[in-house]
Structure 1
């Protein structure tokens, strides 16, 4: 029978068709599944304190961690440099996953290549894969720089990137003077923020070799960190221009993940030129907007470049205040009136919405720097962070966050669950319910199970479009964070008061 294009259905509708429902029922019978009553009983038990104790006792299993693996962060960092092709030394499936992960979040095509290691390379080593891969990548895609990182396979067998790159150049795969910075990024340790840090350090070490001069260039370096709100780089540039600060952003991938559609494909969109990267060693200093995705890079800059570094997180009012005061100090100029007006608007908006957020208990999860900024902002609103899950935490972050929580009466009931995952958070939210959940798209399962409204903030955001196109940095960013949180609460209130003549007493337009 000929296909009828008018009958093509989206997957949302497709699997509700009778033929699929019949197939699913037959599958259940074939698998001899538990009864519906037993499934319900166990599901209810997983909401209990008894299950919570068993859940938190597990050690050898992680369920839905709030982190990704190192190579993803590495290729994210590499994408911020001019003409740079990320090269993943490992299996083809790994790099396909990283590309897909970034593409699904940003809704932008992302280019990266692989040495395509298979079983034979796992036994005999991946040198020949790299020799061939570098030659193909250089010839076909004509990059200005190839930034290389590793996956689990290459790390387990002990492939030496420095030696392999040297051999590849000796065999003529690429010119001897062609830049190929590298970073060892095993996925079985660390996380995506570790990979970002390792790759950025590797790139800067490569580009700045023998480039230090006797005098400073008068510029300042700014490192965004693993910040998937890449439009923040544009907001940062706008603020720096208002102060008249000459700056280099290391690495600026704002166009890579938010490029205009002008009818022509542009493969390389990184905005930090290789010349700027090389000259960053001669800057007055380096300011990182994240601490825990830049740890090794900042240590390298301080030790090898003898350059001062500083961490400032311009999130919320207090964080932005501190950032602008530092910019005023280094520029010798007062804070521009334009930014003072933006601050006033943000505070006015917070005052307008505070009745709906003040006193609300919040569960949140994400990377250390993201969580720190969100907690600081919530405390400013009078909200009460309660369950804080950071899978890729560390002792330094724990101490810093606790100091922040202790600085406010609204942080009294907060507890940081370091190294825990989202299945742990599920138990916490059932046994100690909260009013609001903040996190990435994976939190929608927690919303479904617990009924807690979810404000989607973080990475990845697969099931919503364009949120990454709004800044979270500065006073403009504070307005966006406020918008997402307060309107999530109001949306949930509408859902809970939507039944006519039963729950619609507060279903109104007066609020």
Structure 2
């Protein structure tokens, strides 16, 4: 099929033409050394069995689709949340290209980040020369107020000392002595993207406050600090802003990338936009306390706030769903002395009304989910509040304490009695669970679509539809602007879940003259 200006077919219909079908068949026959289709189908069927699941869960030496990303990805997101800050990754250029494209595809926005392009010579002799040139060039070309440095595997394996390199760069005049260059070591071979965010934030807090604590004391500025953690739903930053403003609470969001990751198309490119100011992070120790919105992912931040800022960090869960949003607002009211606003009480009532309207459709529906630790915990809690049943919760990078906390939440509800919590597992483990446990839906990021495809290949009755909530979302647009926190976020999640259930019901009942006696106009 030849393309011409009057008729241009995109890839999907183009590759289904007879010409392309023939080309692809010839390619398979001549070059791929492919096994017979009967053998492929036989192996596929075996991978859907309980026998294979037991073998799958006993593997020790390989990870397949890990359900996490690496530390510097989180460090870059954290740095983007500070005003006029350039994320700088000490390591290879390819790593930074990965981080930028990962965020590009999720946020549909340009993402600024630089690398000092370590190559083979730096891997042998160290990357100090790269950092000298990199810091000088980044400062001259992009004119940031702050350069926030993190590392890749290459720099960590050879043991590059960021503190020494940065100090040497300043001594030799590559950047001014007083130019802010906070840093964090973010080795990709341990932890995950959430660890990297935590490490980078602790690095920022340490750089701007550790040596200037004299005269600072909790409560001096009358504000409350909010630390979001690795958060990619821009609506979640905005809903915290809105709720605090409606209550009249003085607060500071420590790392807020909403503006730079959601710039308008008005003809002006904004390399920097919004973010937490340098003065705000310097003043953070004077706050009443620091509230961690994703506490399981912010262990270093918590320790620093408690030991250096002398803050009594409240023990709260991620504010997802009704009860945990209530807990956040009541704690904020207690700390600030400001009552919960009438508008938030009305919003809460609307959520309860929505839950009442939809509970009959969600009751008894079975959900499996995967994602980051705090998100998975909050989603589990919310599903139980909605009356849905949870079959499996999988988090690759959670610890045993988190697992115990999640199991206690499940045991406290009649809808979580048969659930299993999996830590240190990957999406290939999750795939096995979808075949053997057969939930009605799975909740997770875009990578789950391939598991949905596999379940459908076994047969339509085995299909487990994916509900896209999490990070990254590459194959749907604008979901990153949505909200999952607060009453507003619970409304969005509830709407998404119940409409997925109803969409599936319509799909199953639209057979003309067979199942359409349940193809109802009103649900």
Tell me whether the two structures share a fold, i.e. TM-score over 0.5: yes
2:290 alignment counterpart:
286
Counterparts of 1:77-476 in structure 2 under 5 Å? 77-212=78-213, 213-215=215-217, 216-312=220-316, 313-450=318-455, 451-476=463-488
Shift of 1:433: 0.6
Shift of 1:311: 4.3
Worse overlay, 72-81 or 162-171: 162-171
Contact 1:454/1:488, CA 8 A, preserved across alignment: no
Shift of 1:8: 3.0
2:516 alignment counterpart:
504
Contact 2:403/2:422, CA 8 A, preserved across alignment: no
**Is the counterpart of residue 28 in structure 1 residue 28 in structure 2?**
yes
Write out the 4+ residue segments of structure 1 that deviate beyond 6 Å after TM superposition: none
1:61 alignment counterpart:
62
Shift of 1:217: 1.6
Contact 2:148/2:182, CA 8 A, preserved across alignment: yes
Deviation string 1:330-377 (CA, Å, 9 cap, x unpaired) is 222322111111011111111111111111111000001000100110
RMSD: 1.5
In structure 2, the CA distance between the partners of 1:214 and 1:432, relative to structure 1 (3 Å rule), is: closer
> Equivalents in 2 of 1:163, 1:503: separation in Å?
71
Contact 1:317/1:478, CA 8 A, preserved across alignment: yes
Secondary structure of the corresponding residue to residue 389 of structure 1: strand
TM-score (norm 2): 0.95
> Equivalents in 2 of 1:6, 1:79: separation in Å?
44
Deviation string 1:414-459 (CA, Å, 9 cap, x unpaired) is 1101111111111111111111111111111122222112111000
Secondary structure of the corresponding residue to residue 490 of structure 1: helix
Between the two proteins, the alignment pairs up a number of residues equal to 511
Contact 1:193/1:292, CA 8 A, preserved across alignment: no
Shift of 1:13: 2.3
Secondary structure of the corresponding residue to residue 228 of structure 1: coil
In structure 2, the CA distance between the partners of 1:149 and 1:270, relative to structure 1 (3 Å rule), is: farther
Deviation string 1:155-212 (CA, Å, 9 cap, x unpaired) is 1111111111111111211111101111111111100000000000001111114333
> Equivalents in 2 of 1:15, 1:92: separation in Å?
34
Structure 2 gaps, min length 5 = 456-462
Worse overlay, 437-446 or 301-310: 301-310
> Equivalents in 2 of 1:230, 1:28: separation in Å?
44
> Equivalents in 1 of 2:261, 2:361: separation in Å?
34
Secondary structure of the corresponding residue to residue 210 of structure 1: helix
2:460 alignment counterpart:
none
Structure 1 gaps, min length 5 = none
> Equivalents in 2 of 1:250, 1:384: separation in Å?
36
In structure 2, the CA distance between the partners of 1:248 and 1:496, relative to structure 1 (3 Å rule), is: same
> Equivalents in 1 of 2:475, 2:195: separation in Å?
26
In structure 2, the CA distance between the partners of 1:323 and 1:121, relative to structure 1 (3 Å rule), is: same
Worse overlay, 38-47 or 23-32: 23-32
Deviation string 1:90-131 (CA, Å, 9 cap, x unpaired) is 110000000000110011110100010111111111111111
Secondary structure of the corresponding residue to residue 327 of structure 2: helix
> Equivalents in 2 of 1:257, 1:503: separation in Å?
46
> Equivalents in 1 of 2:405, 2:124: separation in Å?
44
